[in-house]
Amino acid sequence: MNDLHFRRRSADGDRPHDPRTRIQMKIASLAIKDSGGLSSNQMGVRFPIWLKRVFIFLLIVGIVFRFVNLSHKVYWHDEVYTSMRAAGYTRWEIDQELFQNRVVPIGELQKFQRIKPGSTIGDTIQSLAKEDPQHPPLYFAMARVWMQWFGSSLTASRLLPALLSLLALPFMYALALELFASHEIALLATTLLALSPFDVLFAQTARQYGLLTVFVIASQWLLLRAMRGNAQKQNSRSIRKQISWGVWQNWGWYALSVTLGLYTHPFFGLTVIAQAVYLGLEALLGFYPQIFRRASYTSAGTNLRNFCLAIALALLLYSPWLYVLVTNRQRAMATTDWAKFFPGIGVLLNQWMLSFTALFIDLYANSRPVELLLRIPIVILILVSIYAVCRRCDRSIWLLILTSILVPFLLLLLPDLLLGGKRSTVSRYLISCYPGIQLSVAYFLRN
């Protein structure tokens, strides 16, 4: 629904006579204006039916890709750890049994991929708490239950993340629709996510990164819905009591998404920090609306207050694992020592290009210079798309997208440059940045 709908007059050329109808139309139009969506003339242009069908077909192709050849791809060593932890084993137990200066038969190795006799889901969580505290237990607990139901084959292990990755698609559609008020942009953004080589790769990997993508996108959408509730609350004081519960309910759902995101991976915190920066800037820049073309969401201070309350609730719910992480921080730091090596600025630049362009293409040329050259157009597309969003969209849109991309990236980049390391070169650590890029490209291609 868009502004055009609310501007339509009745057949006799007059607006509706019912005062309640006029109030409802005014509230809805204000809500859409507050969303910072596209102007009505932009929203009036629609994709032709044949083009929509093409995108829907490509969307289905992207979904199918997630389930093709699940058992024929390399069993990555991180996936081995997933199977081991989900089965209830510790690394110490495996070392004691295997590293005895002898040849180990395949069957003896494979038993560690099956559930440990007599173990429970508590053993899975305890294994992580002792030896891998930087990996929260949500995905591993899900993998444990999945293993009990469907077995421990490679296909079964990878089917879980493939199914979970599908949840990101409706959330991406909802997020794009909330931002741009355009079904075309929403469809295009969802198709880009479905076809993304990076997302397809990690959808077929028995790790938590597909689930992390789900919560990154879902939390952004739920945050905007909660903020929209505040805008409606301010713009419709006569019905404040009727929607007050809905406002707090939206913030409650957002707090839940943050909690689940943190229990999926600590780097979900990058998304939370980006959202905090966004709301802080919104509150700060709200005092100077003349700098921008239009103000967007109202009551920025209220949004910031409610955000802090939601994060406080999420941290309270996350505190059991936060305690594990703090008390066992030395083990977590020792396990991630590999990321402290600084490979040189040339390698950093190379890996950044590979990571961000892998959202759209996955090339393996015989020559690395040729491969990098082929990726340059994608880099240009990303930069132009971000510029287009900043140039054409309202502040609440471009500020959200810009902070969601830059803040997580800078939080990884600056320690690499100042202290040494290669955290920012690990593509899966940049997951918080990717939805903003895909949304920007979808907006640019649509317009």
| Strands, E assignment, 169-218 | none
State residue 30's pLDDT score.
43
State residue 266's pLDDT score.
94
210 shares its domain with 146: no
Q: Quick check: is 2 in a domain?
A: no
Which residues, at least 6 apart from 429, have a Cβ–Cβ distance to it below 8 Å? 267, 412, 423
How many distinct structural domains can be found in the chain?
2
Instruction: Please report which helix (H) or strand (E) contains residue 141, including its range.
Output: helix 138-150
AA identity, residue 373: L
State residue 44's pLDDT score.
44
432 shares its domain with 397: yes
Q: Quick check: is 15 in a domain?
A: no
Q: Quick check: is 23 in a domain?
A: no
Q: Quick check: is 9 in a domain?
A: no
State residue 304's pLDDT score.
87
Which residues, at least 6 apart from 106, have a Cβ–Cβ distance to it below 8 Å? none
State residue 371's pLDDT score.
77
- Domain finish residue from 122, 152, 182: 152
144 shares its domain with 209: no
Which residues, at least 6 apart from 21, have a Cβ–Cβ distance to it below 8 Å? none
146 shares its domain with 271: no
Which residues, at least 6 apart from 172, have a Cβ–Cβ distance to it below 8 Å? 186, 189, 190, 193, 217, 435, 438
283 shares its domain with 333: yes
309 shares its domain with 385: yes
One digit per residue, pLDDT tens: the chain, 447 residues?
Answer: 344 333 333 334 344 444 444 444 444 444 444 444 444 334 445 788 999 999 999 999 999 999 999 988 888 889 989 999 999 888 888 888 788 777 888 877 788 888 888 889 999 999 999 989 999 999 999 999 999 999 989 999 999 999 999 999 999 999 999 999 999 999 999 999 999 999 999 999 999 999 999 999 999 999 999 888 655 555 555 555 555 666 788 899 999 999 999 999 999 999 999 999 999 998 887 654 433 334 444 467 788 889 999 999 999 999 999 999 999 888 877 777 777 778 888 888 888 999 999 999 987 655 577 778 888 999 999 999 999 999 999 888 999 999 999 999 999 999 988 888 888 899 999 999 999 999 999 999 998
Integer Cα distance of 280 and 275 in angstroms: 8
pTM above 0.95, yes or no: no
339 shares its domain with 379: yes
Q: Quick check: is 26 in a domain?
A: no
308 shares its domain with 211: yes
- In the block, which residue shows the tokens 């198709």? 191
52 shares its domain with 199: yes
Q: Quick check: is 200 in a domain?
A: yes
Q: For the beta carbon of residue 312, count every other beta carbon within 10 angstroms.
A: 11
97 shares its domain with 125: yes
AA identity, residue 126: Q
Which residue range is the domain that position 55 belongs to? 35-70+164-446
136 shares its domain with 175: no
- Domain finish residue from 152, 176, 204: 152
Alpha helices in 111-182 (DSSP H): 121-131, 138-150, 154-165, 168-180
Q: Quick check: is 408 in a domain?
A: yes
Q: Quick check: is 121 in a domain?
A: yes
User: Three-state DSSP class for 296?
Assistant: coil
205 shares its domain with 103: no
